[in-house]
Chain A
Amino acid sequence: MSRFVVASIGPASSVQDGGRHGAQRYGLTVSGAMDRLSLAAANTLVGNEPLAAAVEIGPFGATFTARDGAVRVAISGAPRNADVAGKPVAMDSSVTLKDGETLTLGFARGGAFTYLALEGGIKGELVFGSLAVNARAGLGSPYPRPLQAGDEFTVDAASGAPELRIELPKPVSGPIRVLLGPQDDEFDDANKALFLESEWKISATSDRMGYRLEGPAIKHLHGHNIVSDGTVNGSIQVPGNGSPIALMMDRGTSGGYPKIATVITADVGRLAQTSAGTAFRFKQVSMAEAQDEARKFAQLIRNLPDRLRSSDTVELNIEALSDANVAGYAVSAVDAGTWQVTAEP
């Protein structure tokens, strides 16, 4: 066994997995990773189950040190500069830290959450099948709270497997897709249109419980108090002040404000990765399209192992780097994942 020590870490960083299901009827919050696809990609890179527990790292930087042996890890999600002992590590790839080496992750350069998966998984005590941290209820393992410097994980010694990278599909851009309802009839057509046609920004006061949306005030038809009913990840409720809140993974299991719309499953992670202050819009889709996208999203996660590539198939491609910069994508010369072109095996 090796140890993986948190040398430094910012707020909003915690152990998360696929969440705690089956006890919402008792008021138990689901929790789990804000961006499931990135969690699954990181886990797949080190041979873990896709929704196994990993470290969800908030927008600030973090450093981790391997002790008592080598540790193999992988990163995916919000892009950031990363290195092990000074040697750059690309996003969406695995890397092995030798005993005593440190992985340094910079600030997120767009997005919010990066996932750090540990080969062999995180060891802890499952509660309702999950290690996910739910600080309010004192749940989560090995630490029932956000991570702090000095925390450490007991991990399997690195397998010595060759390093891998994962080729994820091009990120979907464009509006966040929603289904209207369940309480869209609490709003008139003008206010539904205002919701769907306005530009929104995520407030800096957002957290894992909910993303507060800044934009025009949405007015209710019959006031803002409804009798509490159940919530889901991505429920968009409109409280009395008219500023919508998208409920995220640490949401209460029930809520008493009308919910005008619900973010589709395939886009909840995209919303989670939208940085505070970035302008975006919503787009209404049909149930058929939303469910089709949900099935494709589940299939994408299931089939992630098919997207693994050997790390040494990456070739430097200056032309691609230049094209990418011309096109205005976020690329970084030190993050090959953002620009290098791959030679297919």
Chain B
Amino acid sequence: MAATLPPPRLLPSGDSAVTVEFSRTIDDDANQRVLALDKALAASPIDGITETVPTYRSLLVHYDPGKIGFDALGEKILPIATRPLPPATKARRWRIPVAYGGEHGIDLEDVAKALNTTPDDIIARHAGGDYKVAMIGFTPGWSYLSGLDKSLHMSRRQSPRLLTPAGTISIGGIQAGIQCLAAPSGWHLLGRTPVRTYQLHRNPTFLTEPGDRVTFFAIDHKTFEDMDRAAEAGEIVAEQVVA
């Protein structure tokens, strides 16, 4: 029998949720365990669990204390959470079009300057990356990506912007992101995508799932306008790569 993995910490988030914490830091191994536990709980539900919310390093498990208590739930979660990871299955992969720079990516030039290189080089490094959706949070569809090229790691802006546009493609710290709705942000804005990761009357409403793989490709601003109209009308416009 395969050895079990070290147990996560079970941290009470009030009387109706428990944070199953695998790591205190951003760590791809921990994120894999978060997503594996999330999947396992979806495949064989524990009575009383009402909703799960995966994040970088922990799985927040909402439950009904009328159906199961904190200790009993912990006893059921721990054996699942310490199971060796199942062999990696093929993740969905999205190719996301991005109009880099100019009005759509107002920080591209500054990022290039700060990293002593050219905007084209930044685009190549960003678009060349192989990313994973580590979590979705903050606002609907805001996909946090792991896998940002180390040469692009840079601290966030000193003063966050109060409003950044819908579809913003940005980097912050060691993370990359796809933002869906207009929102405040302290990240560096490299471009915009016409892809809506969240669109109410479209099927599916949410495009990305935690665990999905993502790559980017550059489009010109004219193509952005065309795709943006199509996306507004309900087209997905991202390409799903069939492995």
Q: Which A residues fall within an 8 A CB radius of B?
A: 21-29, 127, 136-139, 179-183, 226-235, 252-254, 259, 262-265, 287, 290-291, 293-295, 298
Contacts and interface: CB of A to CB of B under 8 A. Distances in A.
Contacts of B181: 136-137
7 interchain residue pairs of minimum CB distance: A230-B60, A254-B137, A262-B14, A182-B11, A290-B15, A291-B65, A230-B53
For this complex, into which size category does the number of interface residues on chain B fall?
Answer: 35 or more
Contacts of A254: 53, 55, 135, 137-138
Contacts of B56: 227-229
Interface string B175-204: 000000100000000000000001010000
A340 B13 CA distance: 40
16 contacts: A21-B51, A23-B205, A23-B206, A27-B140, A29-B140, A180-B12, A182-B11, A227-B26, A228-B56, A229-B56, A232-B13, A252-B139, A253-B53, A253-B138, A291-B69, A295-B65
B158 to A, nearest CB: 13
Interface stretch (B16-24, B100-108, B233-241): B16-24
Contacts of B69: 291
Given A26-B141, A28-B140, A230 B16 contact: no
B66 interface: yes
Contacts of B51: 21-22, 24-25
B135 A228 contact: yes
A228 B13 CA distance: 14
Given A25-B52, A26-B198, A182 B66 contact: no
Nearest to A291: B65
A77 B50 CA distance: 27
A232 B17 contact: yes
B138 A229 contact: no
B176 to A, nearest CB: 15
B52 A235 contact: no
A287 B12 contact: yes
A37 to B, nearest CB: 16
Contacts of A298: 64, 66
Contacts of B62: 24, 232
A293 B15 contact: yes
Contacts of B217: none
B116 interface: no
Contacts of B52: 25
Contacts of B58: 229-230
Contacts of B200: 127, 138-139
Given A230-B58, A295-B66, A27 B12 contact: no
A244 to B, nearest CB: 15
Contact of A264 (B11, B14, B57, B205): B14
B16 A232 contact: yes
Contacts of B50: 21
A40 B61 CA distance: 25
Interface in B1-58: 11-17, 19, 21, 24-26, 38, 50-58
Nearest to A185: B11
A230 B66 contact: no
A28 B12 CA distance: 22
Interface string B56-88: 111110101110011000000000000000000
A179 B14 contact: yes
A179 B15 contact: yes
B15 A291 contact: yes
B137 A252 contact: yes
Contacts of B210: 25
Contacts of A138: 200
A229 B14 contact: no
B136 interface: yes
B94 interface: no
Contacts of A291: 15, 65, 69-70
B216 interface: no
Contacts of A287: 12, 15, 70
A264 B13 CA distance: 9
A253 B142 CA distance: 11
A287 B13 CA distance: 10
Contact of A226 (B24, B59, B205): B24
Contacts of B38: 25
A197 B163 CA distance: 38
Contacts of B139: 27, 29, 136-137, 252
Instruction: From A22, A139, A228, name the one whose CB has the most chain B CB atoms within 10 angstroms.
Output: A228
Contacts of B60: 24, 229-232
Nearest to B64: A298
B14 A27 contact: no
A42 to B, nearest CB: 23
A311 to B, nearest CB: 32
Given A27-B141, A252-B138, A182 B26 contact: no
Contact of A262 (B12, B64, B65, B140): B12
A90 B53 CA distance: 42
Nearest to B204: A26
A27 B19 contact: no
A262 B141 contact: no
